[in-house]
Structure 1
Amino acid sequence: MAVSRQLVSINDQWVEEGLAGQILDRNHRSFGGVVDRENGIAWPNHHAGTPVWMSVWGAALVNPDSAYYHHEEVLERLEYAAQYMLSFQHEDGSISPGWTNFHSPPDTAFVVVGYSQLYLLLEQDDWSKNAPVASRILLFLKQTIPVMLTGGCHTPNHRWVLSAALSYLYQLFGDSRLLTRAEQWLAEGIDATPDGEWTERSNGIYNAVSDVMLIHTARILSKPEYLQPVRANLNMMIYLIHPSGEIVTDYSGRQDFGQTFTLDNYLLAYYLMTPIDHNAQFATMTELAEQALCTTTVRPPSSANNPLVGMLLYPHEGETVIATALPTHYRQMINGSFDRDSYIQQIAEVGYSQIQYSRPHLDFGAPVMRIREEKTSVTMMAETSSFLAIRHGHVRLLGVQIASYFGPGFVPMQTLTETTEGFTMTATYEKGYNSCVPEHELPASAQATVSPWYLLPHQHRIATHTQTYQLEVRMTELENGYDLHIISNEPADVMTQLSFVFDQQAIITAVDGHLEQIHPFSQLWSAGTVVVQQGNDRIELTGGCLEHTALSVREAHYPQDCQTLLVNVMTPFEHRIGIRLLSGTDV
């Protein structure tokens, strides 16, 4: 597969944008850096920092199809940027993105992965004028070795970023310590379910990060077994695309939750895996990802995952894999047979009480059901604030949620099972009180003039008056929609609120029901039928109710850039909601 003219063209546009944003004042502390347009600061990081533009410039400089092939001004700007990177590298070899992580090993690792590819790309070019800037890049990489040998991580995907960075440094410098450290990270085992779901369930961002980093690691270290989780995730993603080309992000465990993302982050991973697996659907996903990158992306990709750099550095060889059509009619259960509970029960045996600077991601492996019927795209999911999302043509029901004062807050469903009529989802939570600390367990501080709460051994308190809250959602599939039967009987008198979140552009009309605007972004739906329309597509809802008048549930926050319908019920209840998907002249 040759690099497309479209990809070269968009990269050339980014060349211009980067040149325009570079700081050329030699008296400026960030001389040579490229300003982040969101905050006006030049950063040395991989995502919105100067390395992003260095990768763009490098890909243009070595590519004969680019308007900037062997362009001396661009080369000069690249040298300025390389000087900036060295000046913002700490003595320990690390970099600081500035907004959250400081002296950060994983952020440095992201830069190492992109910088290594850029160096190799410049090295394989026959233009001798590349040599000075290549040497600066190599110096930066060499100076990262100490932090890469000792540095830790925050999140699960960081381990594979560090592994890839260590692998590249091992390729460049041959230091066996780098290989040993990479293998220490790999020895922790792969955090993906058999269906390809990574820990963070981040379809928009971090799943793609784990994929491409393990591809680099597997290739450099000759460990093809690490391609299997990548393969599984890339197969899984075929079923996690809406008809519009957007990725399903309704259940992410990271910052892409509910945000709009396309396949562009997956472009390099699909490109690299297509000839390895001779997979025709991967070839199609490559084309879709490239189209998304060239038509919807507003900024260049991460320097660690720049597809043009990767394509130029690792060109396809041999027979071309012909793309094939992707499925538009399917029912795909993800993690349906994954025994998540058995893993969670082992936490006590491991012995940790918390993960410092991170969290356990107990939602890992929760079931997700995807249904696609041409323009209708349905997602059912456990262990997230919303249990159902529906895209029907232009109408977007972004989430159906249940909030309760038992917690208080949104109630994540814990199970998702298929039945003869549709699906059942359940949740069971407990809440009680803590007894006094036994006298023989009290510390000396308890007898002091001041006895701080935080010095008491709370682990020795026994629970009292524990209550159990149960919730069940029975979903019946119909030819043109769904019936929801939502049940909660105990404990009594729990104020509960159902929410239906729609796109801001949707037109919401009460046909024979009643809506009361309570905020600019939310309405109480107390009775009757509501029709939500965008274009010629409509979703009809029945089942409004107002058993209490609370405008919200504490700890449950509704998005202010959407429109939310609220239905108020009180336990015990068995409440029914009808969802009908209509188009054109349907009535």
Structure 2
Amino acid sequence: MYKQLVDSNDRAVEKGISRQVLDTENRYYGGTIDPHTGVAWVNHTTGTPTDMCYWGAALANPDSKYYRNMEILDRLRLATEFVLRFQHEDGSISPGWTNYHSPPDTAFVVVGYAQLYQLLAKQEWAPLQPVLDNMLLFLERTLPVMLTGGVHTPNHRWVLCAALGFLHELFGVEEAVQRASQWLAEGMDITPDGEWTERSNGIYSAVSDIMLIHAARLLNRPELLDPVRQNLHMMVYLVHPSGEVVTDYSGRQDLGSVHDLSPYYLPYAILARSDKDTVLAGMAEWAGRALADPGVCSANVLVRLLLEPELQQPFESAAGLPEQYEKILNGDFLRHSYLQEMESAGHQGRIFHSRLHTDFGAPVARIRDGDTSVTLITETPSFFALRHGAARLLAVQLASYFYPGFVPMQEMTRLPEGYLLKGEQKKGYYGPVEGALLPPSAGTALSPWYLLPHQSRLLTHEQTLSVEAEVQRTGTGWTIRLHCEEPGEVMAQLSFNFGWEGNFTSGELQTVEEDCCLWTGGKLRYTYGGDWIELTGGEMAHRATSVREAKLQNNCKAVLVNLMTPFDKTFTLTLSPSIIGGGN
């Protein structure tokens, strides 16, 4: 795998060189252009620091064809000058997508930049000195914003801790340790089964893992590795047979998107060695196979492997990973007791530029049977997802006009051959404000709605929509029985969202728009790559083509079934037989 990384890094070097701005009159002189925006940025993903890590790793590595290449060195020097010019006076950077003068985005860059600096500083190659001087100056300038800056999201705290640890190592500033201790005093936001607050298996769980590994080492806090171990062991059950990570219930932008295990390579590899854990080693090998390049600036794998050469060696032993399992995550987590305490926190349910993530710790069931992978979910728009070989059913979602939008399931109970999920929504009306509580403006010619004390209105005529989904395993696939009694005459719509790459070869379909159809009856078969999923249960109890506030996923093929309450409806999902119960 090490040679594969060296080769892919050399290819990344060449791509970066082709995108570097060499026109001295251009405002981005020395930076590398992000092909998606046409702009050179200082950020840790699509920004110039990522290309700098590729170039620096090549310059420092005798196994690279660009080892101590003077042209690459000059390109790197120009890039360090660009980064200094675009660093704000307060020491921060603006990544470009949002978050201007951003402490956390600066911290991401610091983590990658500091490791690259440490690698280059070990080379004892005099021509590197101007590069080293510029990089150290950038890092030193970040100290004020790292010592005072705040965050938006849960994982940002651990990124800042890692950055502060690196700055302490480089400059010996004790205030960096003190600031990190303040963040760490907030405690770890992870369930006993290993789920981080943001439930972001595709992006931010891996971020939290590697940042806490750095913080544990740099701040001498080995206990910070315990939550990382929990998450890494949980992830064993959150990868489809293809290597695609389960993102069906993420609380961040990876929701429903395709991600692989590559961001987890370093966390798995580092802890597999330190713990001599063969399961983690097996996961590291799986993640390593997904590495198309060394990664972004903040988590560049090759830079870390050159700093810790022992990571370049094959694992002594790696366990085979489970291909047959049924696992409930967070099934015993006392989530509701935590939610009941939220009122005492004092924030009144409001948080700025972020989310409270009240779905944290909601139960998830994962079932794998060879090349078939199933996810049952609560507290998200989708409650069921399935991969069967190459055929992907990305989401099954129920929406209604009762509380316009999706109906998430809040409870999950295990049955002998499946699961019972329950969802409930309430909606009522609000009476007049009592006279004694009215503001002075109510008695004037103009009484703004937003000045009235709406919290004082009495609730009237509250209605409740209760839905059950009974999901059962069969010998040939699955059944989904949906049941809802009242209120009556509520229009509902069940959506089956399939991968965009496949096709429907049967079923009575009425086109709504591109890649979206009403399924009115007949057997519906979706096929891709020789595998198929066949469904029964199509119906059109009303003619609405969508439900307000229920936006379907992008990049998928959606099939809609229109239902009207009361309903008791069963859908069968039959899977192509060639791989049922098979293995990889």
Contact between 2:281 and 2:315, CA under 8 Å: does it hold in 1?
no
Query: Which of 153, 156, 165 pairs up with 2:154?
Result: 156
Match of 2:537 in 1: 543
Alpha-carbon separation, structure 2, partners of 1:159 and 1:497: 40
Output the CA distance in 1 between the equivalents of 2:34 and 2:14: 15
1:504-533 CA deviation, whole Å, 9 max, x = no partner? 2322133xx532222222221122322222
Say whether the 8 Å CA contact 2:407–2:424 is kept in structure 1: no
Aligned to 1:450: 446
Does the alignment pair 1:285 with 2:283? Answer: yes
Which structure 2 segments of 5+ residues have no match? none
Are the aligned partners of 1:424 and 1:474 in contact in 2 as well (CA < 8 Å)?
A: yes
SS at match of 2:34: coil
Tell me which amino acid in the other structure corresponds to 2:325.
Y
User: In the alignment, which residue of structure 2 is the partner of 1:518?
Assistant: 512
Once the two structures are TM-superposed, the CA of residue 205 in structure 1 deviates from its matched residue by: 0.5
> 1:324-339 to 2 correspondence within 5 Å?
324-339=319-334
Q: How far off is 1:585 after superposition?
A: 11
> Which one is further off, 278-287 or 140-149?
278-287
1:183 aligns with 2:188: no
Asked whether 1:494 is paired with 2:490, we answer yes
Report the CA distance between 1:468 and its aligned residue: 1.1
Worse-superposed segment, 474-483 or 184-193? 474-483
Secondary structure in 1 matching 2:73: helix
Q: Any idea what SS the aligned residue of 1:226 has? A: helix
Cα offsets for 1:473-528 (capped at 9, x unmatched) = 11121122111111111211111111111122322133xx5322222222211223
Which of 22, 25, 48 lines up with 1:24 in the alignment? 22
The structure 2 residue matched to 1:390, chosen from 377, 383, 386, is 386
After superposition, what is the alpha-carbon deviation per residue over 1:193-250, rounded to whole angstroms, capped at 9, x for unaligned? 1111111111111110000000000011111111111111111111111111111111
> Partners in 2 of 1:462 and 1:358 — Cα distance?
31
Q: 1:432 aligns with which of 428, 452, 455?
A: 428
Q: Would the aligned equivalents of 2:371 and 2:579 in 1 still touch at CA under 8 Å?
A: no
Alignment length (residue pairs):
578
Structure 2 contact 370–579 (Cα < 8 Å) conserved: no
Runs of 4+ in 1 over 6 A off after TM superposition: none
After superposition, the CA RMSD in angstroms is 1.6
CA distance in 2, matches of 1:75, 1:383: 51
How many Å apart are 1:448 and its aligned residue?
3.2
Contact 1:482–1:580, Cα closer than 8 Å, also in 2: yes
Aligned-partner SS, 1:538: strand
Structure 1 window deviating more from structure 2 (245-254 vs 526-535): it is 526-535
- 1:185-200 correspondence runs (5 A): 185-200=183-198
Matches for 1:567-582 after TM superposition, within 5 Å: 567-582=561-576
2:94: which partner in 1? 96
1:50-69 pair list within 5 angstroms? 50-69=48-67
**Shift in CA distance, 419/16, structure 1 to aligned 2, threshold 3 Å:** same
| 1:469–1:491 contact (8 Å) kept in structure 2 | yes
Judging changes above 3 Å, is the alpha-carbon distance between structure 1 residues 288 and 499 closer, same or farther for their aligned structure 2 residues? Answer: same
What is aligned with 2:209? 211
2:455 corresponds to 1:459: yes
Where 1:418 maps in the other structure, the secondary structure is strand
Give the deviation of 1:73 after TM superposition. Answer: 1.3
- Counterpart of 2:371 in structure 1 is 375
Shift of 1:575: 0.8
Show the 5 A alignment for 1:84-163.
84-163=82-161
| Matching residue's letter, 2:366 | R
The CA distance in 2 between the partners of 1:179 and 1:243, in whole Å, is: 42
Q: Tell whether the 8 Å contact from 2:394 to 2:499 is kept in structure 1 after alignment.
A: yes
Shift of 1:171: 1.1
Q: Determine the structure 2 residue equivalent to 1:37.
A: 35
Amino acid at match of 2:523: T
1:502 aligned counterpart, secondary structure:
strand
Whether the 8 Å contact between 1:275 and 1:316 is mirrored in structure 2 is: no
Q: Deviation of residue 560 (structure 1)?
A: 4.9
C-alpha distance in structure 1 between counterparts of 2:529 and 2:150, whole Å: 50
User: What SS is found at the alignment partner of 1:316?
Assistant: helix
**Pairing partner for 2:12 from 11, 14, 35:** 14
Q: Residues 560 and 258 from structure 1, CA distance in 2 versus in 1: closer, same or farther, beyond 3 angstroms?
A: closer
CA contact (8 A) 1:521 1:560 kept: no
Q: CA deviation at 1:324?
A: 2.3
CA–CA distance in 2 between the matches of 1:252 and 1:194? 18
Q: What is the alpha-carbon distance in structure 2 between the residues aligned to residue 86 and residue 439 of structure 1? A: 62
The whole-number CA distance in structure 2 between the counterparts of 1:181 and 1:38 is 36
Q: CA deviation at 1:319?
A: 9.7
The answer to whether the 8 A contact 1:274-1:321 is kept is no
- Tell me the amino acid that sits aligned with residue 346 of structure 1: E
**What TM-score, normalized to structure 1?**
0.96
Q: Secondary structure at the match of 1:283?
A: helix
CA distance in 2, matches of 1:319, 1:98: 39
Partner of 2:33, secondary structure, is coil
Q: Does the aligned pair in 2 maintain the 1:45–1:95 contact within 8 Å? A: yes
State how far apart, in whole Å, the 2-side matches of 1:28 and 1:392 are.
Answer: 51
Matching residue within 403, 409, 418 for 1:422: 418
Q: CA deviation at 1:128?
A: 2.4
CA contact (8 A) 1:412 1:427 kept: yes
Counterpart for residue 409 of structure 1? 405
Residue 466 of structure 1: SS of its match in structure 2? strand
Q: Secondary structure at the match of 1:474?
A: strand
SS in 1 for 2:31: coil
Give 1:562's aligned residue.
Answer: 556
- Give ranges in structure 1 of 5+ residues lacking alignment: none
The two structures have a TM-score, normalised by structure 2, of 0.96
Contact 2:389 2:579 in 1 (8 A): no
The alpha carbon displacement at 1:574 in A equals 0.8
Q: Find out whether 1:365 has 2:361 as its counterpart.
A: yes
Q: Deviations over 1:1-22 (max 9, x none)?
A: xx61110000000011111111
Residues 306-345 of structure 1 aligned to structure 2 (within 5 Å): 306-316=300-310, 320-345=315-340
Give the partner amino acid of 1:278. Answer: K
